[in-house]
Structure 1
């Protein structure tokens, strides 16, 4: 009931907010950003952390947060939520243009391993963007976690143990929830590489069944309830 009411309220705000062309629409967009996309909590904690000297990770940044990371030297913002009809997206696109940062949309799923083709596309993206860069999802826990792990494995050639550290409770990631399938993918790679050493990119290029991994992974009900119903993660 609450979920249906929240969705209906969100749809109404999107219609009223439009493309944020009038002062009234921008005011509505601010309300949508703060309360429907939960930015009020991100003002308390953005979940901003360095992955390496050239990469940062965070939750969905507000215009003020984007100004902060621009002062840190960030040149590219990778939006792991993807393009969507949401005030946070509109403000992000507008602010990146104003600050001279490049915004790239590269959606990842928090409850399914990325397909091998998606991993290859992400590596190509990492080879072409201007650094320093920031990658973000909504909460900075799951998609930002696997994105950061892939960055370390593919772009910096870091050890698997270091990459797995990007999926950690200190960032808000709960490995026993349905988002733990992201950990499971890295563990499967680790098991295969232990028996026959292989670089992650080569392992991914050889092909793996991401959907089979999702079916095999057993999530805990309590952790999944916390992530899906209390934290309301995407």
Structure 2
């Protein structure tokens, strides 16, 4: 039992034990923490998922192998990309996400480990690029119900959007993807960001975000 719990928390985090942090954005987009194999199958069948986007990368070989098997079984495309919860996304990663979100089959399920930070980034981009929502109106990076904490280094994801919105005030014609590719100073933004010590402990030690 002890070995099982240790393995479970390493793969999924304690959030997954209760809800998998699963949320429906609309009929075409769903977000969650790392699902178990059983939960992934249930989601695919219930919501007719056509694409699973795993933003944890390929380091977790056992998880990835089982996901590949399940997706193959249901004729679902599995896309894997490595994102970081504690940093400004690079322009290469943003461009790759743009390609994925604008060309993939829907409905889509996107997940990371906890379903809070990296998944919130992708959900925000989906709402902006695909649904056409103003970034200021999108609420996919919140402590409730997603358990995303902007005062730790995971708040660098929020900072990415905040810096663009500040730039956009004087340059309303510049899109997010244009700003990312031509104007964003990623190193400067990350260097200037200050995290709160309490939230650092919460995110790094208790929640163990990737």
Partner of 2:142: 168
Query: Cα–Cα, structure 1 residues 41 and 223, in superposed 2: closer, same or farther, change >3 Å?
Result: closer
Q: 1:186 and 2:161 equivalent?
A: yes
Partner of 2:110: 135
How far apart in 1 are the matches of 2:49 and 2:4?
24
Bigger Cα Rg: 1
Partner secondary structure for residue 218 of structure 1: coil
More displaced 10-residue stretch of structure 1: 41-50 or 215-224: 41-50
How far apart in 1 are the matches of 2:207 and 2:43?
25
How far apart in 2 are the matches of 1:32 and 1:145?
26
Shift of 1:196: 2.0
How far apart in 2 are the matches of 1:204 and 1:173?
23
CA contact (8 A) 1:93 1:103 kept: yes
Over 3 Å off, 4+ runs: 29-33, 38-41
Using the size of structure 1 for normalisation, the TM-score is: 0.81
Partner secondary structure for residue 110 of structure 1: coil
Q: 1:200 and 2:195 equivalent?
A: no
CA contact (8 A) 1:154 1:200 kept: no
How far apart in 2 are the matches of 1:130 and 1:30?
35
Using the size of structure 2 for normalisation, the TM-score is: 0.90
Q: Deviations over 1:27-53 (max 9, x none)?
A: xx9777524324665141111112233
User: Which of the residues 100, 116, 121 maps onto 1:125?
Assistant: 100
Partner of 2:26: 52
Gaps in structure 2 of 5+ consecutive residues = none
Gaps in structure 1 of 5+ consecutive residues = 1-28
User: Between Structure 1 and Structure 2, how many residues are aligned?
Assistant: 205
How far apart in 2 are the matches of 1:116 and 1:125?
14
Partner of 2:38: 64
Q: 1:225 and 2:201 equivalent?
A: yes
CA contact (8 A) 1:33 1:39 kept: no
Query: Cα–Cα, structure 1 residues 202 and 74, in superposed 2: closer, same or farther, change >3 Å?
Result: same
Higher normalized contact order (CA 8 Å, seq sep 6+, divided by chain length): 2
Aligned-pair Cα RMSD in Å: 1.9
